[in-house]
A and B are shown apart, each in its own frame.
Chain A
Amino acid sequence: MSGPHVPVVWGGLLVAIAAVQLTFGMHGTALALLGGAGITAVLVGAAWGARARLTAPVTTTAASAATSPGAATAAAGVGAMALGSAIGAWLSITGGALLLIGVVQVVRQGRR
């Protein structure tokens, strides 16, 4: 059994438990929430497994940059946008700009 099997097995369990619901009568919301999560888990695991068969295994020796200011900037932008909803639009706009700057930094760091 490999990594992708884990979400497939787990998602299968969710689908099976959701199916038991049918014997107690149909309840759309509950069935959709649990069954939807289960089917999504199975699909994610299956897609990951298919991709893993086509690509080389991931090595754990790849180095990463020691810091990522862009990631923190993007997160600060999201926080400023949230806080801006109470303080004023100017802070939300500033947050949006920070988010954009952060994302650009992260993308540029990834390309290096």
Chain B
Amino acid sequence: MTELATGAHADASELSLLLTPTDHKAIARGIGRVATVFFLMSGVLALLMRAELAEPGMQVVSTSAYSRLFTMHGSGMIYLVVTPVALAVGVYLVPLQVGARRIAGPGAALAGAWLYGIGGAVMFSGFFTAEGPGRATWIGIDPLSSTTGTPGAGMDLWILGVAVATLGQLVLAACVLATALRLRTDGMTLLRMPPLTWTLVVTCLMAVFAFPVLIVTMLLLWLDRHGVSIFIGGDGAIAYQHLFWFYGHPVVYVMFFPFVGAVAEVVSTASGRPLRAYPLFVGSLLLFTALSMSVWAHHMFTTGAVTNRYFALTSTALVIPAGIEYIELIGALWSRTLRMSLAVWFAVAFLVQFLIGGLSGIWVASPAIDAHANNSYVVVAHFHYALFAGSMFGLFAGLYHWWPKVTGRLLGRRFGVVHLVLGVVGTNLTFMPMFLAGERGMTRRVGNYPGSGLSTLNLLSSIGSGVIALSMLALALNLWRSARAGRPADADPWGGLTLEWATTSPPPAGNFDGPVPAVRSAAPLATAAGSSA
């Protein structure tokens, strides 16, 4: 196979290999590069928003421009950064972890990556239209997204861009899922699949069953704006919210679970043994994601049009599988043999900070509290603790863990420490004051606010966002230095337990130079080392 793959690569031109590769590793790297561009663009929009909010009044942008800023910031980060990066982690690592030579449906995966990038470009192309890009929030809420609420081609481009990018992500998810479930090497039973692969299996299940609903909803919204009456009146708005949130809440977990998996890999590698009670961990993932599909209408508590008690029950029930997973991860950290590395420190930051995001989720899972917190900065703080303080720190843990595998070079420790410290300080300085601002009545999605009691909190958040930007600069410098002159990494710099560490860094076309190592446990490399000793 390696010869076949190498031969096939030799026949293709450099340009063709750059733009249309079917090697899953090249596809994932491409998604990573495109997501980095969208991250920078969406991050700049966030800094503009924080500059506007640093003091009361409108100083930097107009009210209308502010609406476009928060719409495109949220849309960019969710549709074009965290979700595709979560899937790209799977595109790169799942075939390696299950011992497959390729991804299932390599051509489809390539098309998915292109659809994602093109969809993002279409979404952002609204900036070049006369009326500007979409401004109906990241959920494109109806009737604000109607032609009356948001006239112009920019909103149409937002709708179609979301649909196209999500179609691409749906295809990518299907390829990752099929790889994990169909292309496992001999001996790789379901319960021997590594934690990252399992988190991606459940992530992709959610994507495959929730993403089509968004794509259809976007097409219906587009038709609605072009003369076909679909979301009419109050019932139409409620129907839109049901359809949107059936995607919109599971996607939060699509953006979260792969990074739980990354953290699980980091801590189990650092402790030198697989997670304890692994079947319980897998069972909790299945239950967690099934429940995740059933909580969407807690976003609609205040509409009075949903069964609040049922959705409060399912939303609160999430603490059971979440608690099991936390105990598993803390159990892996509780080890005499634990080797602390930067990846482990990022994993610890993930565990602590996500806990704040998760616990504040229990508040808003209560209809009584949600009635007060709804549409306030409490919600903004909650989801930024979940998605930035949580998911992004999980991503960073995975980045420091697998970067040597992907590039063949180690990341620098000094820049890494700066990235970690500034990242933790900046994140908490930005988002913790938002809880207090929300509690004092600050409404989300406004560029202006009354000064009394809110100006200091907002100034702190704005300073914090600058510190986050500095932490990103430290990360960028670290990546750049590593790519140019980083210390070479061997195949297994951390003493890994799973199959990706059995191949060279970076892995060759076809993933493994020789035969795939035999799999006799959930930690195949530990088993192999034990049997050869």
> Could you list which residues of chain A lie within 8 angstroms of chain B, going by C-beta atoms?
1-7, 9-10, 13-14, 17-18, 20-21, 24-25, 27, 29-30, 33-34, 37, 40-41, 58, 60-72, 74-76, 78-79, 82-83, 85-86, 106, 109-110
Contacts and interface: CB of A to CB of B under 8 A. Distances in A.
A103 B221 CA distance: 27
Which are the 7 A-B pairs with shortest beta-carbon distances? A79-B118, A75-B114, A3-B181, A13-B290, A63-B4, A82-B160, A86-B153
Contact of B118 (A30, A34, A37, A76): A76
Contacts of A83: 122, 125, 157, 160
A78 B215 CA distance: 13
B291 interface: yes
| B-side interface mostly | helix
A6 B21 CA distance: 30
A21 B307 contact: yes
Most chain B C-beta atoms within 10 Å of own C-beta, residue among A2, A58, A68: A68
Most chain A C-beta atoms within 10 Å of own C-beta, residue among B4, B297, B310, B510: B310
A58 B156 CA distance: 43
A85 B60 CA distance: 32
A74 B183 contact: no
Contacts of B189: 1
A14 B222 CA distance: 30
Contacts of A2: 190
A33 B115 contact: no
Interface stretch (B161-169, B344-352, B360-368, B370-378): B161-169
Most chain B C-beta atoms within 10 Å of own C-beta, residue among A4, A68, A71, A78: A71
Interface in B105-121: 106-108, 110-112, 114-115, 118-119, 121
A68 B22 CA distance: 6
A30 to B, nearest CB: 6
A8 to B, nearest CB: 11
A23 to B, nearest CB: 8
A73 to B, nearest CB: 9
A36 to B, nearest CB: 9
Interface in B1-55: 1, 4-5, 8-9, 11-12, 16-17, 19-23
A76 B19 CA distance: 12
B286 interface: yes
B483 interface: no
B176 to A, nearest CB: 13
Given A60-B101, A82-B157, A37 B111 contact: no
A76 B252 CA distance: 28
A3 B16 contact: no
B242 A69 contact: no
B12 A24 contact: no
A25 B62 CA distance: 46
Given A5-B190, A83-B157, 9 more contacts: A6-B201, A18-B294, A33-B213, A37-B209, A60-B101, A63-B101, A66-B17, A72-B19, A78-B115
Contact of A10 (B8, B202, B314): B202
B118 A86 contact: no
B325 to A, nearest CB: 16
Contacts of A109: 107
B293 A37 contact: yes
B-side interface size class:
35 or more
Contact of B119 (A25, A72, A79): A79
A71 B306 contact: no
A2 B192 CA distance: 12
B301 interface: no
Contact of B286 (A13, A40, A58): A13
A33 B249 CA distance: 13
B523 interface: no
Contacts of A69: 16, 19-20
Contacts of A68: 20, 22, 106-107, 110-111
Contact of B306 (A17, A27, A40, A82): A27
10 contacts: A2-B190, A6-B201, A7-B205, A14-B294, A21-B310, A24-B310, A34-B293, A41-B209, A72-B110, A74-B111
Given A78-B164, A78-B167, A71 B108 contact: yes
Interface in B175-226: 181-185, 189-191, 201-202, 205, 209-210, 213, 222
A1 B129 CA distance: 53
Contacts of B108: 71
A18 B294 CA distance: 8
B509 interface: yes
Given A17-B294, A66-B12, A75 B307 contact: no
Contacts of B17: 66-67
B21 A66 contact: yes
Most chain B C-beta atoms within 10 Å of own C-beta, residue among A58, A67, A78, A106: A67
Contacts of A7: 205
Given A58-B183, A79-B115, A10 B289 contact: yes
B20 A24 contact: no
A83 B159 CA distance: 11
